[in-house]
Structure 1
Amino acid sequence: MFGKLVSVKDYENYAANTLSKTVLDFYKSGACDEYTLSLNEQAFSRLRIIPNMLRNVCNRNYNLTILGNQVKIPIGISPCSMHKMAHEDGECASAQAAGKHGAIFILATLSTCSIEEVALAAPETIKWFQLYIYKDKEINKTLIKRAEKAGYKALVITVDVPVMGIRYKDEKNKFYLPSYLKPGNFTEEKYIIPKCDGSGLTNYVTSLFEEKLVWEDVKWLKSITNLPIVVKGILSVADAKIAADIGCHAVFVSNHGGRQLDTAPASIEALPSIVKEVGHRIDVYLDCGIRHGTDVFKALALGAKMVFLARPILWGLTYDGLKGAENILGIIINEFDNTMALTGCRTLDDIKKDMVVHESIYSKL
């Protein structure tokens, strides 16, 4: 029916025809009318790449250093909850796929494989741990200590979920964690996403996440760990500056995949001003809307040190577990490499800001 799958879109179409409606909607949906969700990809399509010709592009190399670790490619896997709904091997397979390509993998707090299981399954992969801030400070401390002990290299603090975004599809589907699965990082009953008359995830977040989250909490987290701190969910220059001022190691420009505040800007739209403000002081990363190798190039040209993607990995898992996730990364990396060659770039340093412009430049002609 599907033939050979050669693009991310092919894998997405396969997943759309394979996953249950409840799981598919959870993975794909955004907040409210999903304007920001669609904008994440549309904003990339409005950018044009200006290639340079007659450059020697032999022996292309994309190695870089991220938070003290050598990485082979400026592409990683962003935190995303509950991979086992796509395939039984879940986050373990996703982390292994990242390692296969020399990419970074970020494990989500609400994963269906534990911190320790992923560490054991993918020992060679550079792994970071994403932390939602719970009202119970002891839970936060415990998760951090487990990540440190298991060899994770950075702590990614998600700051854009003081409350849950309004996700109508999850409300209609009465989403909850399927009974055949369990939260990987918790054993107590209260940490299982419940059945309820509406979204179980919204109920979970309302009950357990810290609604009073402020910058002082980030300072506190810095005081209890030696791991580099990455603040994820930044869309404003002012917030990026605060993060840099208090000693965070990086900011992650992200709108949570369009799943929190609808009509917020696309990540790629917010990126340039944030890079201008803090890019000379700390690393700036980006996720949301990365579907092609050209998207990677555009984000790097506009100042991102590295980009991450999540949903495409889920489509790969749905198709063929580890192999499918490897294929997805392979597609994006191959497209990026092709883009580099066709734009006259042999290394990441060859990518220049003036190689990407907004389409409006041409509409004026």
Structure 2
Amino acid sequence: MSPIPELGAIPAGTVNLTDYTAHARSRLDDNAWAYFSGGAADELTLQANRTAWDQLLLHPRVLRALAGGHTRQTLLGRVLEHPIMLAPVAFQRMAHPDGELGTAYAAAAQSAGIILSTQATTSLEHIAQAIVADPGRGPLWFQLYLQHERAFTQALVQRAEAAGYEALVLTVDAPTSGARDRERRVEFKLPPGITAVNLANLPEAPVASLSPGKSAMFDGLLSMAPTWSDIAWLQSITRLPILLKGILHEDDARQAAQLGVAGLIVSNHGGRTLDTAIPTAWALPRIAQAVGPNMPLLVDGGIRRGTDVLKAIALGAHAVLIGRPYVHALATAGALGVAHVIRLLRDELEIAMALTGCATLDDITPSVLFKHP
């Protein structure tokens, strides 16, 4: 077992997820702040993700029987204590020396699922070793970027299987990075000692020889970008269920369902790739309608309140992911901050359920959302 990280102190007056943003800003340098908090281009999608949840209004019911209620959810055959999971975030040791290890301990302590990034600064084996035997932990999933060398990707998948990860989350919405102005302004670079350790020994990608008139993007980088055929290949090399992260269009959702993927994550990469892409709260109900109730759906992007979690469930999600809030909490108070964020969100969800007359997640239906005349 890995040593449990030292706990930080939660600043006085920290009572919600957004409070951690200001605390984190004072603790992170400009380089790390640009990476963790910035979005693509004018950051319109980053802002819209948050606004879209706010614009959904609740239509509560009263005098319902609520005794014995709970937040349990079944996902991929596993019972979750609550529907809150931690999204994959790269390079977490830029936020705190404990990095992903502190996050993993906090998630396990709060029975929250965690998705470890391919670009973690702690090995996937180290994280699994730390929490896999904890009987109260939530799901442990591994986020995957398909690498340019299939043999390396296959070896990475086999490592995740051997370590005890329960699912693969394939990110499909980032064949290239977005135009991130904040990062370009600070000339972002990884600090010394911060690397994607799970990608150690990855051979250099071949450099395309471009003839005149050819594009470095389309004829170079994107010539190695994943396509739908790679999904079938990935399914053929693993026994783990595969979820696709980064779905916004109903047609892509239908195609993924036809390929037999285990679940979908409605995501616009936190507004970090394509600016002016639709907010996830708009995409979620369309995708839920396209694939039906039996396809496990998760959603991320702008979730900051328990009412947002309730709204996501009402729109068809089975669980939600948070990203920036827990990284800001990690930067502020280490593992204790991450645990606090999860607990705050779960408490707020229970309050929202009680005040809308919903004893269980199954009671949260579209009728809890107000329909404008």
Q: Compute the TM-score of the two structures, normalised by the length of structure 1.
A: 0.91
Q: 1:69: which partner in 2?
A: 78
- Alpha carbons of structure 1 residues 291 and 142: separation in structure 2 relative to 1, 3 Å: same
Any residues of structure 2 matched to 1:257-296 within 5 Å, and which? 257-296=270-309
Q: 2:261: which partner in 1?
A: 248
Contact 1:76 1:103 in 2 (8 A): yes
Can you give the 5+ residue segments of structure 1 that lack an aligned partner in the other structure? 192-202
Q: Which has the higher contact order (CA 8 A, sep 6+)?
A: 2
Contact 1:237 1:273 in 2 (8 A): yes
- Is 1:23 paired with 2:36? no
- Is 1:114 paired with 2:123? yes
> Distance between the aligned counterparts of 2:109 and 2:223, measured in 1?
36
Aligned-partner residue type, residue 39 of structure 1: A
Range 37-46 or range 81-90, more displaced = 81-90
C-alpha offsets along residues 21-47 of structure 1, whole Å, 9 cap, x if unaligned? 110111011111010000000001110
- Cα shift at 1:190: 6.8
Aligned-partner residue type, residue 166 of structure 1: A
- Cα shift at 1:319: 1.3
> Distance between the aligned counterparts of 1:169 and 1:140, measured in 2?
31
Any residues of structure 2 matched to 1:29-44 within 5 Å, and which? 29-44=38-53
Aligned-partner residue type, residue 229 of structure 2: E
Any residues of structure 2 matched to 1:173-184 within 5 Å, and which? 173-184=186-197
- Is 1:57 paired with 2:57? no
SS in 2 for 1:8: coil
Percent same amino acid among aligned pairs?
39
Range 258-267 or range 59-68, more displaced = 59-68
> Distance between the aligned counterparts of 1:142 and 1:348, measured in 2?
38
- Cα shift at 1:222: 0.5
> Distance between the aligned counterparts of 1:211 and 1:289, measured in 2?
31
> Distance between the aligned counterparts of 1:91 and 1:277, measured in 2?
35
Aligned-partner residue type, residue 58 of structure 1: A
- Cα shift at 1:208: 7.9
- Alpha carbons of structure 1 residues 19 and 104: separation in structure 2 relative to 1, 3 Å: same
Range 349-358 or range 47-56, more displaced = 349-358
Contact 2:104 2:127 in 1 (8 A): yes
SS in 2 for 1:161: coil
Q: 2:360: which partner in 1?
A: 347
Q: 1:198: which partner in 2?
A: none
Range 177-186 or range 65-74, more displaced = 177-186
Q: 2:92: which partner in 1?
A: 83
Aligned pair partner of 1:214 in 219, 227, 230: 227
Contact 1:254 1:286 in 2 (8 A): yes
Q: 2:201: which partner in 1?
A: 188
Q: 1:196: which partner in 2?
A: none
> Distance between the aligned counterparts of 2:298 and 2:11, measured in 1?
34
- Is 1:317 paired with 2:330? yes
> Distance between the aligned counterparts of 1:9 and 1:209, measured in 2?
37
- Aligned residues, how many? 347
> Distance between the aligned counterparts of 2:166 and 2:338, measured in 1?
22
- Alpha carbons of structure 1 residues 18 and 210: separation in structure 2 relative to 1, 3 Å: farther
Contact 1:82 1:111 in 2 (8 A): yes
- Cα shift at 1:3: 3.1
Aligned-partner residue type, residue 144 of structure 2: L
Aligned-partner residue type, residue 356 of structure 1: L
Aligned-partner residue type, residue 362 of structure 2: D
> Distance between the aligned counterparts of 2:202 and 2:291, measured in 1?
42
- Cα shift at 1:210: 6.9
Q: 2:20: which partner in 1?
A: 11
> Distance between the aligned counterparts of 1:211 and 1:41, measured in 2?
33
Q: 1:161: which partner in 2?
A: 174
Any residues of structure 2 matched to 1:322-337 within 5 Å, and which? 322-337=335-350
Aligned-partner residue type, residue 98 of structure 1: A
Aligned pair partner of 1:92 in 101, 110, 114: 101
- Is 1:45 paired with 2:74? no
Aligned pair partner of 1:236 in 215, 231, 249: 249
Aligned pair partner of 1:301 in 301, 314, 323: 314
- Cα shift at 1:4: 2.4
- Alpha carbons of structure 1 residues 34 and 178: separation in structure 2 relative to 1, 3 Å: same
C-alpha offsets along residues 87-140 of structure 1, whole Å, 9 cap, x if unaligned? 111111112211112121000000111101110122233210000111111121
- Cα shift at 1:182: 2.7
Contact 1:134 1:209 in 2 (8 A): no
What RMSD in Å do the two structures reach over aligned CA positions? 1.9
